[in-house]
Amino acid sequence: MKQSALVSDDFKRVESHSCPMSTCAVPAGSPCRTGKGKVAIQYHTARFRLVPQLVKVLSVPTPAVRKPGSVWTKLPRPADADAEPVGHVRLGYARASTARQSLDAQLDSLAEAGVTRIFSEKISTRATRRPELEAIVKLAGEIRSSGVRVTLVVHEHKRLGRGIELAMLAEELKASDVGLEFLTGELKGSHDPSGIVFTVLAAMSGMEREYIRDRTLEGHESARKRGKTIGGAGVTDDSMVSMALHLRGQEMSLRDIAKKLVITSGAKKGQHPSPATVMRMLREHDEQKATAPLEPTA
């Protein structure tokens, strides 16, 4: 896209939206402003990205007709700036943390809620990117910019994420003027992503994982002081780990691996470990191997 085209045409599309930046917040029809009350030399990124044609553009300059650098004044709003949205689209998002978890309950509840299109994926909240979530947020913004009201519908707030990623998502939804609705849980109902409830939610969900971790560690330490064994530590040994790794290399399932292993000591001597114990044992081995320092080569 040429720079001249940006200046002559696209600034009108940008100004058809109010600026979502809290430090600017100008109404539709006016250029963006700086913190010192001047007309900004370019439109704020969050504002011009509300226009689908400009999503991938790095910046949109303020045209000379708006006198960038001069004292900012409010200009008349476009005739259709206050127009009510035409129609309503409900987009659904479902997520499970692992491949073994089922999405059926979430998909059924979304369908019953009248969702017209559902994006789903099996991926942990710890993943740096969640492609299907990114895709639905992008689509929601594009549909909203066409004048249609959009609501992102989710089974429960935990499906969206925790902590900082939830706060970032809230900002993105706010910038696109997309609504949010939870079908179940303590926050069941419709929410404004920029509202105080959602802000508190983001902060609390970020602390939840650390709280659970700290309480678990405290419990483990207390049990150790009383001489109690923690979890499945007492049923595994090096030979069992070696055999489990060998069987995993043959692409056997966790259930089948568990049937091949036998506990050699403790109260469960002679029994097979559970698939969950095998999974934990292999995961701990992989984590230790990943964090172990590399041995120097000759």
| CA atoms of 164 and 168, how far apart (whole Å) | 6
Cross-strand pairs, 222:
none
Could you tell me if 133 and 95 are in contact, meaning their C-beta atoms sit under 8 angstroms apart? yes
* Element at 200 (helix H, strand E): helix 196-225
- The three-state secondary structure class of 154 is strand
| CA atoms of 202 and 290, how far apart (whole Å) | 31
Do β-strands 179-182 and 149-154 pair in parallel, antiparallel, or remain unpaired? parallel
What are the catalytic residues?
97
| CA atoms of 64 and 41, how far apart (whole Å) | 9
Q: What is the b/e burial string over 201-232, where b = at least 16 CB atoms within 10 angstroms of the residue's CB?
A: bbeebbeeeeeeeeeeeeeeeeeeeeeeeeeb
